[in-house]
């Protein structure tokens, strides 16, 4: 009996039943049961009892583990920051966590058994259609709905729903509050509307300012050119009428005044052209750059026929852009190369194209005086001349004009060079 007390209640009951069964069989047996036989049977029952005890302990531990897992799952479900709700096929609430109950505005116990659609502000029919899609398959469905709210602001939520793979006639809903997100979206929309109106207003103001500036440029150019033309006229008349009475030094001064006047006129014209570059959109078409480059090269050779310059212009180079503006680009780049190779007995100027990183790139290369690579970022600044450039004629606006035209075409321009080793100007369109 002491052994019986140490057993589990179920094991004790099972042992008593087994002992009674053995005694009953012994009474009804057709042959006498020996003591040895009874001992063998009792030993077998003892073994089975131990096995049952072990199985019972495993079952008890499994039940404890299951209870713990259920408790952890319940805690995760109840205290999750997202609303979780289980609905049956009709949309009736079967289970809900704390966050879901808070979104619906009631306690959990009062929500079980109630139709979920009654908590929607104005999307009941749309939600029922959404629910039909959820139960039609096992794919995740999502949609945005509006819940009833006790406050002034509607409660906007995003619902993600799916039926479990077990085939149970229910679906699980995850409800995420997106009210604050909606407020931010509305604020951004208003901000964008304000920005658009501000952009339209500022654009109109800038266009008006540009028109006024352009009118001022023409007026200033006209006012400047009138006295310059008079100076040129007087200097020419003075030289023609008094040349016999002037020394060679005085004649040189008069010629210097006249040439300076011409340079000033040219500079004014250059500035006006530069200011007009950003006014109109490029008229794009297919442009034969080789023909343009050959035309510019021919004009340069005719301007100084005594120079030995080898133009190497590649064939069949075309681009999509404004023909007139691209002529200005090549004129400035090739003229720039012509100017800075003037100290070479045999100058070489190349025009070609290459593909760099899948993009067509055009280039003008020369064997002129070159430049220090640390000055490369200054090349395209208006009136910014590099050290040593004073020995060459120029207005300081040519490369800035090229940069503006290239940028208007959506491209970019850059240069590489070394002192006394020439330079290469690259551009894209």
Q: Verify that 151 and 41 share a domain, yes or no.
A: no
In the prediction, which pLDDT does 18 show?
66
Q: What is the pLDDT of residue 24?
A: 66
Beta bridge partners of 174: 84, 160
* SS3 state at 413: strand
Query: Helix, strand, coil proportions of the chain in percent (round to 5)?
Result: 55, 20, 25
pLDDT at 3: 47
Q: At what angle do helices 323-340 and 289-303 cross, to 10 degrees?
A: 40
The pLDDT tens digits for 325-367 are 898 899 999 999 999 998 899 999 999 999 988 899 999 999 9
How much is the pLDDT for 390? 57
pLDDT tens string 284-302: 999 999 999 999 999 899 8
Q: What is d(CA 416, CA 420) in angstroms, rounded to the nearest whole number?
A: 13
Q: Which domain holds residue 8?
A: 2-71
CA distance 169 to 242: 115
Give me the pLDDT at residue 209, please.
80
Are both 358 and 392 inside the same structural domain? Answer: yes
Last residue of a domain, one of 229, 245, 276: 276
pLDDT for residue 166: 77
Whether 418 and 296 share a structural domain: yes
Which CATH number covers residue 389?
A: 3.30.565.10
CATH number for the domain harbouring residue 106: 3.30.450.20
Same domain for 297 and 414, yes or no, is yes
pLDDT the model gives residue 1: 45
Residues 315 and 423 in one domain: yes
Residues 303, 421 within the same domain: yes
Instruction: Verify that 155 and 190 share a domain, yes or no.
Output: no
Same domain, 196 and 294: no
Helix (H, G, I), strand (E, B) or coil at 177: strand
- CA quadruple 360, 285, 331, 267: dihedral sign: negative
**Would you state the pLDDT for residue 349?**
96
- In 3D space, the residue among 344, 341, 361, 339 whose CA is nearest the CA of residue 352 turns out to be 361
With a cut of 70, which residues of the chain have pLDDT below it?
Answer: 1-12, 14-15, 18-19, 21-33, 70-77, 217, 220-221, 267, 270-271, 273-280, 383-396
pLDDT for res 379: 86
- State the pTM of this model: 0.47
pLDDT at 329 (0 to 100): 92
In 305-412, DSSP assigns E strands to: 309-313, 318-321, 347-356, 359-366
- For the chain, the domain total comes to 4
Map residue 186 onto helix, strand or coil: helix
Domain final residue, candidates 116, 150, 177: 177
Of 153, 177, 201, the position where a domain reaches its end is 177
């Amino acid at each position: 009996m002491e052994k019986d007390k140490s057993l589990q209640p179920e094991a004790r009951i099972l042992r008593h039943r087994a002992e009674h069964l053995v005694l009953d069989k012994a009474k009804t047996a057709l042959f006498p049961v020996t003591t040895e036989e009874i001992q063998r049977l009792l030993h077998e029952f003892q073994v089975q009892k131990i096995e049952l005890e072990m199985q019972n302990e495993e079952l008890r531990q499994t039940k404890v583990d299951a209870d713990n897992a259920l408790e952890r799952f319940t805690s995760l479900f109840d205290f999750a920051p997202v609303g979780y709700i289980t609905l049956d096929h009709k949309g009736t609430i079967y289970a809900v966590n704390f966050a879901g109950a808070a979104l619906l505005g009631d306690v959990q116990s009062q929500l079980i058994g109630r139709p979920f659609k009654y908590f929607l502000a104005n999307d009941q029919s749309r939600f029922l259609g959404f629910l039909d899609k959820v139960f039609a398959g096992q794919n995740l469905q999502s949609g945005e709905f509006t819940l009833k709210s006790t406050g002034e602001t509607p409660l906007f939520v995003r619902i993600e729903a799916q039926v479990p793979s077990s085939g149970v006639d229910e679906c699980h809903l995850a409800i995420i509050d997106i009210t604050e997100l909606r407020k931010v979206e509305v604020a951004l929309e208003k901000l964008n509307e304000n920005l658009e109106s501000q952009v339209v207003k500022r654009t109109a103001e800038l266009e008006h300012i540009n028109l006024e500036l352009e009118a001022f440029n023409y007026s200033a150019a006209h006012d400047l050119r009138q006295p310059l033309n008079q100076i040129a006229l007087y200097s020419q008349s003075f030289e023609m009428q008094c040349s016999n009475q002037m020394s060679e030094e005085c004649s040189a001064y008069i010629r210097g005044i006249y040439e300076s006047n011409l340079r000033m006129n040219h500079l004014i014209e250059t500035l006006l052209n530069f200011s007009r570059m950003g006014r109109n959109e490029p008229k794009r078409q297919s442009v034969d750059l080789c023909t343009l480059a050959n035309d510019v090269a021919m004009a340069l050779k005719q301007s100084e026929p005594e120079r030995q310059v080898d133009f190497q212009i590649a064939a069949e180079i075309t681009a999509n852009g404004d023909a007139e503006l691209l002529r200005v680009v090549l004129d400035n780049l090739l003229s720039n190369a012509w100017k800075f190779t003037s100290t070479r007995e045999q100058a070489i100027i190349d025009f070609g194209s290459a593909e760099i990183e899948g993009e067509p790139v055009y280039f003008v290369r020369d064997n002129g005086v070159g430049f220090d690579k640390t000055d490369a970022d200054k090349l395209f600044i208006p009136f910014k001349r590099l050290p040593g450039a004073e020995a060459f004629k120029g207005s300081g606006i040519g490369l800035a004009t090229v940069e503006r035209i290239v940028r208007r075409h959506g491209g970019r321009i850059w240069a590489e060079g070394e002192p006394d080793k020439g330079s290469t100007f690259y551009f894209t369109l």
